[in-house]
A and B are shown apart, each in its own frame.
Chain A
Amino acid sequence: MDKFDNFITMFGMPRSGTTILARLMANHSRVRRIIEPYQTKRSAGYDVTSVGALCADFGVKEESGFSLLVKETTTRGDNIRLLHQLMEGAALENYRVGYVLVLRSPLEAFLSQVDAAQSLWTRKSAFSRDRASLKAFWNVFVASIGIHLEHALRFHRRIAFYDAFALSPRSEIARLMGLFGYPIEPDQLRLSEDAEFGGDPGAGAATDNFLPRTDRSSAIESMAREFGSLAEFGKMWRLHEYTKDALNYRKSSDAIVRDLALLVQMP
């Protein structure tokens, strides 16, 4: 059977830009995609971790000359556990495996998630700007990253910073496409409406302004006053500062993985 050129996964915390990045990467003529298989079918207990079965379940045709991109978020630790089982299985099946980890300030992502819960989610949720939601948001990310770090150096990788992408989308997408070995295509950054894509409905617009920036600095200052005594907030703040330091965008993926282990796992 013809195998994909590459089997690439992408993940990050909710509202970290995974949807727009996945859309832009999957907009390449040689990239096929499966979006949030474990999150969307969680109620059915979906746990398929073979590439062939996953493709069959999601109606994706496998062909050489093409690559598969599977995107998930850290909404549940199980999503990441299953995604990594899928990657390990793919490696055993002799696929070339790689991943893209998307990093965004956890404070901005949390505030964006609060906004989304109020304005975008169809189902009512208790998720709001309070201590319980903040702790839950961070702790599921920590658990997911803990699972990831066990596998982080096993596969080729790219770390994508939301802020670096917002600054220069074309060169960031070109760099991420390098993981596939495919050059960026002339129209790759031109998106069309795609209702089937899933993920963040706000990331669907065809526009050059991929990430309309919301200035959350005053909201974050307010959170610092309110939640500053929480251990979770302290760690979120450390990662927030890390994602805002442009020097980190130029670090090698190995260095970022090491930094991430320290930032997220150290007390």
Chain B
Amino acid sequence: MGLGYQFTDRRCVDYEIWFHGELRHPLRGPRALFDTTARYWSFVGAAQTFGRFVQHPFPALVSDCFGMQHVNLGFAGAGPEYFASKPGLLEVINGSSLCFLQIMSGRSVSTTLLKTIGQGGMLKFMDGPLLGEKMLALDAYKALLQKYGRAEIAKQIADVKSNWCRSYLELIGKIRVPTILVWVSSREKNYDLSCESAEQVLGEFPHLITPAELATIESADRPLVGRTFAGNINQMLLDYTSRKPVVVFNKANFEGRPDWSRAFNVYYPTPEMHRSVARDIILFLGANAKFASACPQ
């Protein structure tokens, strides 16, 4: 999806996508002085780590602050399963001296009913009246409510939570370097997970994940750092050259979107939010000697 964002967002942000060695995954740039023979940090996560609509996302800000090389392994829609199944990416992560692992979405893990496809946030029905159909996660949960009923939704939620924890523990088991978990969200960790609507079931990013799940992967050696943002996300998107508002979400490709929001980012953390997350991580690193050994001397 990195190249997908590069095309859609090309008028306002240049993600300077690059490729490392034999890895076929398009990586978020700028192409830093990342060298597997030297010390570097890895940042693992989804679109928030990638930094959609942000020229300097929190991985770059944190690394620059400590003068560290880093590699941004943020992939849109990715979940723990995605990384756990990619030996090339695990090799890059395990070559780093410190891994920052974002808390990724509950809707990016597969269940017996809904299977994730690729890394793009698409789900495929594996059973029932919509067997074989593929749709975006929110649409899939809407369909689930309408066609499968509340009992099936409750089972789906339980499956997601259980599989999310299992997938994270599997991924964490494959990461052999010190790891810090990173929370980036516009909601509190706890939320009212009601079955009234698909939106309420999923909640805001990282959908379906609550303190109970976080407790299964958090530990003294694997702390959780990061920030919950207050208020709505409304970032006006400006053309890089003219600095005028630019329509990124056109009618042809984003039909259902309100017209007022076509030149706005209303979902992904804004540059200010990235600076806040970076500040929290930097302060944490400064206050925790345990992780200081991963910083340059």
Contacts and interface: CB of A to CB of B under 8 A. Distances in A.
Interface of A: 5-6, 91, 94, 96-98, 154-158, 171, 174-175, 178-183, 247, 250-254
Nearest to A159: B31
B30 A96 contact: no
A156 B10 contact: yes
B33 A250 contact: yes
Contacts of A171: 18-21
Contact of A182 (B7, B29, B241): B7
B11 A250 contact: no
A178 B241 contact: no
A181 B14 CA distance: 9
A123 B15 CA distance: 44
A175 B27 CA distance: 10
10 contacts: A156-B240, A171-B19, A175-B18, A175-B19, A178-B15, A178-B17, A181-B10, A182-B7, A183-B26, A252-B29
B91 interface: no
Contacts of A252: 16, 29-32
Nearest to B33: A250
B34 interface: yes
B19 A253 contact: no
A91 B7 contact: no
Nearest to A97: B241
Main secondary structure of the interface of A (DSSP, over half): loop
B19 A254 contact: no
B7 A181 contact: yes
Contacts of A183: 3, 26
Interface of B: 3, 6-8, 10-11, 14-21, 26, 29-35, 240-242
Nearest to A94: B242
Nearest to A246: B35
Contacts of A178: 3, 6, 15-18, 26
Nearest to A174: B19
Interface core residue of B20, B21, B240 (most chain A CB under 10 Å): B240
B10 A6 contact: yes
A251 B6 contact: no
A94 B26 CA distance: 28
Contacts of B29: 252
Contact of A250 (B8, B35, B242): B35
Contacts of A6: 10
Contacts of B241: 91, 97, 154-155
Interface core residue of A91, A179, A182, A250 (most chain B CB under 10 Å): A250
Given A250-B31, A253-B16, A96 B7 contact: no
A127 to B, nearest CB: 36
Contacts of A98: 14
A155 B10 CA distance: 11
A171 to B, nearest CB: 4
Given A91-B241, A155-B241, A96 B33 contact: no
A253 B10 CA distance: 16
B25 to A, nearest CB: 11
Contact of B30 (A5, A179, A253): A253
Contacts of B3: 178, 181-183
A247 B16 contact: no
A250 B14 contact: no
Given A181-B6, A252-B31, A254-B30, A96 B16 contact: no
Contacts of B11: 96
A91 B15 CA distance: 19
Given A157-B14, A178-B17, 15 more contacts: A91-B241, A94-B242, A156-B10, A156-B240, A171-B18, A178-B15, A179-B14, A181-B3, A182-B3, A183-B3, A247-B33, A250-B31, A250-B34, A252-B16, A252-B32
> What are the 10 A-B residue pairs with the smallest beta carbon separation, nearest first?
A181-B7, A252-B30, A178-B17, A156-B14, A171-B19, A181-B6, A91-B241, A175-B18, A181-B10, A96-B11
Nearest to B10: A181
A94 B18 CA distance: 26
Contacts of A91: 241-242
